[in-house]
Each structure stands twice: as C-alpha cells, then as structure tokens.
Amino acid sequence: MSDIALAVFAGGAAAALLDGLAATVDFRIRGISFTRLWQSVASGALGPSSFQRGSASVFLGLAFHVLIAMTAALFFNTAAMYAPILLVHYVLFGTLYGIAVFTFMNLVVIPLSAMPPRPFSLATTIRQLLIHILFVGLPISIAAHCFATKNGDGPYPSPASKTITPDR
C-alpha cells in the first residue's frame, strides 16, 4: 500500500473515530441518544423516515460518517500532492482544514441533504467547530505529514514533477 493510501486510511480512520466519539459525547450531554444521533446522520439520505428504521439507519449513519471522513482525508492528501506546503505547516493547515470541512458540511452538504432542519445555536456551532479542528482537520493533516515524511525524504512528490524514464 502506498504512503498516500496509508495516510488517507490513517487520517480518515482517526478523524472518523475521534469526531464520532466527540459528537456522541457532545450530543449525549445535550440529551440526544447515540441511536438518535446516528439516525440523524442517515436522515441526510433517508429523510425523516430514518428515525423509524431502527439499527439499520444507525449503521447507515455510521457508514456515512466514515465515508465522509475518508473522503475528507483523500481530498487533503490529494491537495498536499499539489501543494506540499500543507504538509510542511500541517498544524496550521490542519486547523484551517477542520474549519473548511465544518463550513462545507454546514453550508453545502447538510442543506442539500434530506436531513430535517436544525435550529441554530451559537454554543453548538462553537463546540462543533472546535471538534472539527481538533478531531477532523488535525488528525488528517498529522497523518498526511507523518506518512509523507516517514522516510526522511520530504513531502509527497508532486504529480506534475513526475518524469517518465525509459526502461533500459
């Protein structure tokens, strides 16, 4: 498996696990059960009927969560191939990436989904933004940095810099 694939898998898995745990705890503190939280994620595809589908929609919500985390990791690692500065300043760009993922999810993905609208809460927004910085953006950027520099030979080579050499 290539270093990029490992970085995507490690960063995506870490983000899925950490963000999932943080969301579960955050929502549980506010009285929302584990089942209801993950059914609400599945409601993005299923609409309100998600809440009547039991554990099947819980597992679907968890699967969507992992898919989104892996996609976010893939996007960051692909961008890092073209802009290696993302790997050099990985804490800064991981923080910014967490903000970007939060913004994209809340301004594009959720409004376009079948998920029922949620009331705005500044406290929830701030908590979720911090969760996305600490548990999505940073794990993805740290994994990308670690796998890109694990052999001591610097960040991933840019696809534009790859040259084809003839076989001898």
**159 assigned to some structural domain:** no
Q: Could you tell me if 135 and 19 are in contact, meaning their C-beta atoms sit under 8 angstroms apart? A: yes
Please choose, from the candidates 3, 10, 1, the residue with its C-alpha nearest in 3D space to the C-alpha of residue 142: 10
> What's the average model confidence in pLDDT over 55-60?
98
For residue 131, being part of any structural domain is answered with: yes
Q: For residue 166, is it within any domain?
A: no
Tokens of 153: 């030979």
Query: Domain for residue 123, yes or no?
Result: yes
Report pLDDT for 163.
Answer: 45
- Whether 121 is covered by a domain: the verdict is yes
Query: DSSP letters along 115-156, please?
Result: PPP----HHHHHHHHHHHIIIIIHHHHHHHHHHHSTTSS-SP
Residue 54 lies in a domain: yes
Which pLDDT value is given to residue 165?
45
| In-domain check, residue 33 | yes
161 inside domain: no
Q: What is the mean pLDDT of residues 114-143?
A: 94
122, amino acid identity: L
28 CB-near residues (< 8 Å, 6+ apart): 34, 37
pLDDT attached to residue 162: 47
How many whole angstroms separate alpha carbon 143 and alpha carbon 114?
Answer: 32
Local structure of 31: helix, strand or coil: coil
State the total domains in the chain: 1
- Residue 154 is predicted with a pLDDT of 60
Domain containing 127: what range? 3-154
Q: What percent of the chain has pLDDT over 70?
A: 89
